[in-house]
Structure 1
Amino acid sequence: MTKLTALGVLVFLASTGGALACPSVSDPAGMTIATTGEDLWSPNSYGVAAGGDIDLDACPSVPGTGMVVSGPDFEFQLSGLAGYNLLQLRVVGDCDTVLLVNDSTGQWHFSDDFNGAVHPVIDIVGASDGVFDVWVGTYGSEICSAELTLETF
């Protein structure tokens, strides 16, 4: 590679900015919420603008297809989950939404269409107390209003 070609590549990479970024748990969350398994026995819902400028297809370290922001929309600090078999996260939006979660053990979860609908659902069986980072994205490039709901069973 010549110096001129290398310089061109560097200029291109610098000009694309966030296009090469991927979702990161180290980026600040839009909102931090501390709650318990008992609190989530009744569904808790949170409004969010779904979508973003990060294309998950370009991010081999995370699963899924869709568009999200780099930092999580929500960081949930969950405790008291031991008495519950299931933590469910679901999204209903004004467009085709996707859901990306990094759970308290560092495992990634992704959902797009669930059960024939355009609304994602993630069920985490035996969820452990800790931090859950959550991204609410869109399948396409649009931004839309959405509602994230967490519930324990």
Structure 2
Amino acid sequence: MRRRRSACMRERGGMIAGARGAAGGMTLIEIMITVTVLSVFVAAGGLVLASLARQGELNHDLAVVNSEVGNALALVHAAPFDSIAQELLNDGSIDLGNFTYRKILTGAPTYLPQGSVTVQFRDVSAGGVLPDPLCIDVTAEWTNTHSGHQLRSFVTVRTR
């Protein structure tokens, strides 16, 4: 009496005979699917790394801007209140009742493309009379290579 072999029985070489009749290995479609999945993962990883690089550049720009704004405000807050107008007239100009301090930020080590910090004092009279409290507006502008034109505004008050 002979037994019948089923499709899942082992053949002589130790291979399992399946529905395909092939002895294992990968088909062309399996290879194509594997390559496609790997390509998707590599592309997604590249996008993540590019995004992190852009965010790092923007964080650097913001650190430079915050530092320069702090420096500009330190100059204003370090001077005695009554002598601010005279000191500002020596270093800048009063135009239409407002003083403007402007610093260009395109040189090393704080390179920002087309960057500047502008400090304006509200309601300063042409004679150098300062209101109390003195409102100070600080505007920082620069161009980021990925995000384009950037603008940050700060407002503070100085009293006697």
Please report the TM-score for the alignment, with normalisation by the length of structure 2.
Answer: 0.28
Where relative contact order (Cα < 8 A, 6+ residues apart) is larger, the structure is: 1
Which structure has the highest strand share of the two?
1
Please report the TM-score for the alignment, with normalisation by the length of structure 1.
Answer: 0.29
